[in-house]
Amino acid sequence: MLSLNVVGAGKLGRTLAALWHASGVFEIAGLFNRSAENAREARDFIGAGTAVSDLSKLPPAQVWLLAVPDDQIASTATALPPIIAQHPPQAGRPPILFHCSGALPASVLAASGADLLASAHPVHSFADPKRSLTDLPGSTVALEGSEEAINVLEPAFTALSCNCIHLGSSQKVLYHTGSVMACNYLTVLMDLSLQVFQAAGIDNKSAMALLEPIVLQTVKNNFALGPAKALTGPLVRGDVATVARQTGALRQLAESTDTSGAGSEATSGIQAATLATMYRALGKAALPLAEKAGLSQDARRQLQSIFDES
């Protein structure tokens, strides 16, 4: 069994380490966090490993996961050569270094001095590590880097019931952008929707209960039918008057927020100008899709005119 060091045992790092420990894929060697308390919390969550808050105190390992934020990967790799060099290769194998950034290539780790570099990006939201322990299986992991490193990482993720795809380094940025738009920005869209409900006088708990069934059904429809057939609502129906009333209501909300002040109870936390702007931008983006779903050319022109209004 290969040993694993985790540099940055946050939500992603501790989840993967816990799953690999439980499935017997890797022996967890060291766990580094800048905070000693966080390092100990990671060790307790994983159930194995030596917790350290000094990078130089990490034990020897055959595989190194750099699970730090994207902007810190290169600088962390730069700090690793003397640390790795103080331990001879185990079982005659040079160390494998990989990160889990979706946007960065494996080559960002080159400053580590290691030859076997890879990136492995799980298409999964690690917002809650406890939930991820059961929800990660079935997710896809995008692998990129040296063949020898991938030959170790692919079976490691397959053992967690993940599906693996292989990417070239030039594909990564757009691949990750697509993931961000569907995942992260879906969350932002939910928040914007809740702000509109708040402006309508509907509390957050009631709005969440109202939205959950239709949002989950919409997601299912998108995967079962495809976006063109899943799109419903006033755009597809060509309800120009309804769309005009909605854009007008959001415009009035923005104007009233500007005049009433950000501290008023009715508008607290509502980004009214952003809501109006996003509604129009998303409406424009939806028109080609709505046309595929049957929107007439005349209705499209009228809707385009509404969305073009400032």
pLDDT at res. 121: 97
Q: Which of 172, 201, 226 corresponds to the end of one domain?
A: 172
Q: Which of 116, 141, 172 is the last residue of a domain?
A: 172
Q: Is the pLDDT of residue 43 over 90?
A: yes
Q: Which of 122, 152, 172 is where one domain is finished?
A: 172
CA distance 192 to 208: 12
pLDDT at 97 over 90: yes
Over the chain, what is the mean pLDDT? 93
Tokens of 54: 């000094």
pTM of the predicted structure, to 2 decimals: 0.86
89-93, 109-113, 143-147, 233-237: which range is least confident on average?
89-93
**Same structural domain for residues 159 and 188?**
no
Minimum mean pLDDT range among 64-73, 91-100, 144-153, 290-299: 91-100
Q: Are 112 and 214 members of one domain?
A: no
246: in domain? yes
216 and 142, same structural domain? Answer: no
Q: Do residues 118 and 192 both lie within one domain? A: no
Confidence of residue 263 (pLDDT cuts 50, 70, 90): very low
Give the residue-averaged pLDDT of 202-214. Answer: 97
Number of domains into which the chain is organized: 2
Question: What's the rounded Cα separation, in Å, for the pair 267 and 269?
Answer: 6
Kindly state whether residues 30 and 51 are assigned to the same domain: yes
Based on the domain organization, do 136 and 161 belong to the same domain? yes
Q: What is the pLDDT of residue 310?
A: 59
Q: For residue 288, give its domain range.
A: 184-308
Cβ atoms of residues 222 and 230 within 8 Å: yes
144 occurs within a structural domain: yes
Asked if the structure places residue 117 within a domain, the reply is yes
**Res. 256 pLDDT band, cuts 50 70 90:** confident
Rounded to an integer, what distance in angstroms lies between the CA atom of residue 93 and that of residue 29? 16
Query: Looking at beta carbons, which pairs linking 264-273 to residues 24 or more positions away fall under 8 Å?
Result: 266/199, 267/199, 269/195, 269/198, 270/195, 270/198, 270/199, 271/192, 271/195, 272/199
φ and ψ at residue 163, rounded to 5 degrees: -95, 140
For residue 178, is it within any domain? no
Same domain, 158 and 191: no
The neighbour count for residue 217, using CB atoms within 10 Å, is 11
> Confidence band (pLDDT; 50, 70, 90) for 190?
very high
Query: Is residue 285 helix, strand or coil?
Result: helix
For residues 12 and 161, membership in a common domain is answered with: yes
Residues 155 and 237 grouped into a single domain: no
